[in-house]
Amino acid sequence: MAARQVATPPELPGLRYSRLLGSGGFSDVYLYEQELPKRLVAVKVLASEDLSDTSQAAFVAEANLMAQLSAHPYIVTIYNAAVAADGRPYFVMEYCSGPSLAEQYKRARFGVADALRTGVRLSSAVATAHAAGILHRDIKPANVLTNNYGWPALTDFGISSAVDIDLPVNTTTRDAMNAAGAGTATGTIGMSIPWSPPEMFDDHPQPDVRSDVFSLAATLYTLLVGHTPFEVPGKPNGTVDLIGRIERGTVTPITRTDIPRSLISILNKGMAVSAEDRFATAVDFARALQRVEMELSYAPTAIDVPNLTVLERAHDADAAESGDATRIRRVSTIEAQPVLAPKPPDPSPQTPADPTVIRRMPSVAPHAQATAPENTVIRPRPTVEDPVEESPAPTEQEPASRRRIWPIVAGIAGVLVIGGGIATAVIFAPTETDPSPTPQPSSDIVTVGVPSPEAGSVSLNADGTAVTFSWTNPEPEDGDRYIWYRSDGPNPGDKVPTESESVVVDGITNGSQVCIDVVIRRTTGKQSTEPLEMCTE
Q: So what's the pLDDT on residue 204?
A: 83
Residue 388 placed within a domain: no
Residue 135 placed within a domain: yes
Cβ–Cβ under 8 Å, residues 220 and 203: no
Phi, psi of 401, deg, nearest 5: -65, -35
Same domain membership, residue 156 and residue 197: yes
For the domain that residue 76 is a member of, what is the CATH number? Answer: 3.30.200.20
Peptide bond into 89 cis (omega under 30): no
Same domain membership, residue 276 and residue 142: yes
DSSP per position, 70-83: TTSTTBPPEEEEEE
Domain count, the chain: 3
The residue among 306, 337, 367 that closes a domain is 306
The residue among 281, 306, 331 that closes a domain is 306
* AA letter at 29: V
DSSP per position, 135-149: E-----GGGEEE-TT
DSSP per position, 263-328: HHHHHHHHT-SSGGGS-SSHHHHHHHHHHHHHHTTPPPPP---SS-EEE--TTHHHHHHTT-TTS-
DSSP per position, 235-247: S---HHHHHHHHH
Determine the Cα–Cα distance for residues 153 and 121; give it in Å rounded to an integer: 9
Q: So what's the pLDDT on residue 3?
A: 61
The residue among 46, 67, 94 that closes a domain is 94
CA dihedral 172, 177, 178, 179 (to 10 degrees): 110
* AA letter at 164: D
Element housing 406 (H / E): helix 400-412
Q: Considering only CA atoms, which of 222, 225, 228, 224 is closest in space to residue 241?
A: 228
Phi, psi of 17, deg, nearest 5: -65, 140
Same domain membership, residue 211 and residue 173: yes
In which order are the strands placed within the sheet that holds 15-23?
A: 15-23, 27-34, 39-46, 89-94, 78-83
Q: So what's the pLDDT on residue 537?
A: 76
Same domain membership, residue 258 and residue 144: yes
Cβ–Cβ under 8 Å, residues 491 and 367: yes
Same domain membership, residue 283 and residue 256: yes
Determine the Cα–Cα distance for residues 31 and 2; give it in Å rounded to an integer: 25
Structural domain range at position 522 = 454-535
Determine the Cα–Cα distance for residues 536 and 515; give it in Å rounded to an integer: 7
Contacts of residue 479, Cβ cutoff 8 Å, sequence gap at least 6: 522, 523
DSSP state of 383: B
Element housing 483 (H / E): strand 481-486
Q: So what's the pLDDT on residue 226?
A: 95
Reported pTM? 0.56
Same domain membership, residue 148 and residue 19: no
Same domain membership, residue 276 and residue 159: yes
Residue 319 placed within a domain: no
Same domain membership, residue 509 and residue 483: yes
Residue 350 placed within a domain: no
Distances from the Cα of 214 to the Cα of 115, 123, 169, 199, angstroms: 16, 11, 21, 10
416-419 long-range contacts, Cβ below 8 Å, gap at least 24? 416/287, 416/290, 416/358, 416/361, 416/444, 416/445, 417/290, 417/300, 417/301, 417/302, 417/303, 417/361, 418/302, 418/303, 418/305, 418/308, 418/358, 418/360, 419/302, 419/303, 419/304, 419/305, 419/360
Residue 161 placed within a domain: yes
Residue 394 placed within a domain: no
Three-state DSSP state, 458? strand
Same domain membership, residue 113 and residue 81: no
For the domain that residue 223 is a member of, what is the CATH number? Answer: 1.10.510.10
Same domain membership, residue 270 and residue 220: yes
Q: Considering only CA atoms, which of 149, 146, 129, 141 is closest in space to residue 64?
A: 129
Same domain membership, residue 81 and residue 116: no
Residue 30 placed within a domain: yes
DSSP state of 467: E
Same domain membership, residue 524 and residue 489: yes
For the domain that residue 491 is a member of, what is the CATH number? Answer: 2.60.40.10
- For the chain, 537 residues long, give each residue's pLDDT as a single digit of tens: 456 678 899 999 999 999 999 887 678 899 999 999 999 999 999 887 656 677 677 777 777 777 778 789 999 998 988 889 988 889 899 999 999 999 999 999 999 999 999 999 999 999 999 988 888 889 999 999 998 888 999 988 755 444 433 333 343 444 444 444 333 443 333 458 999 999 999 888 888 999 999 999 999 999 999 999 999 999 999 999 999 999 999 999 999 999 999 999 999 999 999 999 999 999 999 999 999 999 999 999 999 987 654 433 333 444 444 444 333 333 333 333 333 444 444 444 443 433 333 333 333 333 333 333 343 344 444 443 444 344 444 444 444 433 344 444 344 434 334 444 433 333 334 444 444 444 444 444 333 478 889 998 988 887 778 889 998 999 898 888 898 888 887 667 788 888 889 998 887 776 678 889 898 988 777 788 788 988 887
* AA letter at 72: H
Residue 520 placed within a domain: yes
32-37 long-range contacts, Cβ below 8 Å, gap at least 24? 32/92, 34/92
Element housing 459 (H / E): strand 454-460
